A and B are shown apart, each in its own frame.
Chain A
Amino acid sequence: MEEFTVPIGPQHPALKEPISLRMTFDGEVVKHVDVRLGYNHRGMEKMAEERSYIQNLYLTERICGICSHSHTTCFAQGVEKLMEIEPPKRGLYIRTLVAEIERVHSHLLWLGVAGHEAGFDTFFMYTWRDREIVMDILESISGNRVHYAINTFGGVRRDISEAQKQTILDSLGLLKQRTEYYTNIGTTEPTFVARIKGVGKLSKELALSLCAVGPTVRASGIKSDVRKDDPYAVYNEIPFEVCTADTGDVFGRVVVRVNELFECYKMIEFMLKNLPVGDIVVKAPRRVKENEVVSRYEAPRGENLHYIKSNGTDKPERLKVRAPTLANYPATVEMLKGCFIADIPLIFAAIDPCICCAERMVELVNVKNGEASVVSFGDLKKLASEQYKKCGNKPEPVSIAKQLEKIRRKS
């Protein structure tokens, strides 16, 4: 067979979100990979410049649906530094608690997705069923299952009662038991292990030089974790280990995530038992002095980075978000080279991609000559209507008043 190039995506069943991976195949083996982004531009950063800080807190929450707490915490930490306020201990504990519960839900979700990509749907159904327990815990704490909205500048918005503590501890027992079962299946089921062992290799050196983050880099044997390297919130008070694996393949990434789950349970238990008494929030000013800050946060997928520049008003001058998925793309390209077609979804899913979180810009590429250009919205509109005319359509100006009259006449 000759070499041929095939676009995987932007629409493909293995990809839940739009991204285009242009792959060159030699038979069933991948020779070359080209990642194309920009299919889901949401204009979040521009939007942030037009909103006040407190509004932006809820905007950043919506960058991602799975690690929503990661983005708000990252943003809130940065803005708190700009405002020069220090949240009370109890507030920080609750913030960290939600962060760790979120990590549990994200990792369980990922385990299910990995199972599904490998064609192991039973695993997928089971892990997602038990993920409901975590979702219920999150709902009991914050009132929401997805966008918890627990953060505010200077602390958190909701306190945890003794009764809530008890219910969380009770459900943790069940979760631990189930996770042990999944660990057993995920690391010993022969057909599943055969699919993930030795697939998507990423050596230690390559992982370092390509700046991979999160479980991807930890699975290559590098102890890189913002929670330990640059502790924020209360991570310097909580005992926990950074989980690593030395295999550097998808199997290693499964092991790292599963072990992290157990670390999370330990941390949640510790935080609930040692929850300090006191306030949960301090008052935050509306306006922020002119300054700039970079805030780091270890999201379930890896290091999350927010850059915030303030200009003395109640709106930020610039917000830059670097989601962990973006940092993992270069490593993914390396991992995909030389793999089988059958391994593509597994390797790609192993970085736990959240494509829409990572999309920051759109570039217009001419398909014929490959030229890239930046076009204003007005020009884009003109181009679209020209193309529409070329296809033999006559765009007619539509008058809303006339349309309304038509409807009225009919009725």
Chain B
Amino acid sequence: MDILKTLLYLFVYPGLLFLLIYSTFCEWFDRKLYARFQNRMGPLHTGQSGILQPIADIIKLLFKEDIVPEKADKSIFSALPVFGLAIVCTAALYLPVWHYCKEASFNSFPGDLIVVAFLLSLPTLIFFLAGWHSTNFFATIGAVRVLTMLFGYEVPLLLALLSPAILADSWRLSEIAVFYQINPCLLLANILGFCIAVITLQAKLERVPFDIPHAETEIVGGVFTEYSGKKLAFFRLLSDIEMVVGAGLIATVFMGGFPGGLWWGLLNFVIKTLIIVFLLSAIRAACSRMRIDQMVSFSWRYLAPLAVLQIFIVILLKGFLK
């Protein structure tokens, strides 16, 4: 029975199948919102109000011609998309959405917050390697930009994620979530960190205003310039799932997780992640692309100090509460 449950967990909910379906739904939600913000209609034809469009796009890409550049390192070039997808799917497993039984799930352990944050920063490395091994000029420039940007947003993101953990006195996702479910008022103390986390997540997902590594009008497709067909489909899926995992992580840490057993937990998960996707779309619609130097100086001048300030607030609050 336990094995069946674990398999269900891995492959159906909240594992692979749910992740695939939900991430495409999130992409649709994001695209539709972005379009409505811009006074457009967005996807319309595939399924009810275009809800199946992301799936259709991915299926279409799967059947397209798959070209590997002559000068590229073929094995690495082909392996990277699969690796990337596997990494973000693994990261998704640590989100505390497992509520078949009362106790925390088997893969929850102290410090899983750091593991998820680490797994979420690996796709960046995958993108860099993908761009570098494409040996294309635009892809190389994109790859360098990916790494440069990583130095900008990674530190503020980690600092922002740590502050609620410090307040909850635990580095275990499920415990942090439970702590804030008991004391929801304390969530207000982390609002600054929440804003920073959402902005840095936007940068991690490489969306406007941080879509610098694949700025279409500057460097064509950036790191994905040489990718086509199945591999590009994998990368797109990777970005979608990364968005879900990132939103799930922020929802766990800053919004009190997903309590209420299987069904309420699912509902909680969907609503809370969609709120974050909504914020991400709003940022995307309201900004223009930054330059790489502006992005790095922005995150070190404003985001990092503010994240440190957030930690100070939390430490002071903690002393006050005791």
Contact = CB atoms under 8 A, between A and B. Distances in A.
Q: Do A and B come from one complex?
A: yes
Interface of A: 4, 6, 12-14, 28, 115-123, 125-126, 129, 189, 191-192, 194-195, 340-345
B130 to A, nearest CB: 19
Interface string B205-246: 000110110011111100000000000000000000000000
A119 B137 contact: no
A342 B288 contact: no
Nearest to B148: A28
B288 A341 contact: no
Contact of B290 (A4, A117, A191): A191
Contacts, number: 72
Binding site secondary structure of chain A: helix
Contact of B291 (A12, A120, A343): A343
Interface string B143-156: 00000000000000
A195 B137 contact: no
Contacts of B290: 191, 194-195
A28 B141 contact: yes
Given A119-B208, A195-B288, A345-B217, 12 more contacts: A115-B288, A118-B289, A119-B211, A119-B217, A120-B208, A122-B38, A195-B291, A340-B293, A341-B219, A342-B212, A342-B292, A343-B291
B75 interface: no
B287 interface: yes
Interface in B4-44: 37-40
Contact of B218 (A14, A115, A126): A14
Contact of B294 (A12, A119, A194): A194
A120 B287 contact: yes
B317 interface: no
A340 B219 CA distance: 12
Nearest to A340: B291
Nearest to B209: A191
Interface residues of B, number: 26
Interface of B: 37-40, 137, 141, 208-209, 211-212, 215-220, 285-294
Nearest to A27: B144
A121 B216 CA distance: 12
Contact of B289 (A4, A119, A125, A340): A119
A123 B38 CA distance: 8
Contacts of A342: 212, 215, 218, 289, 291-292
B215 A119 contact: yes
A126 B39 contact: yes
Contacts of A122: 37-38, 285-286
Given A28-B141, A119-B288, A122-B285, A129 B39 contact: yes
A117 B288 CA distance: 9
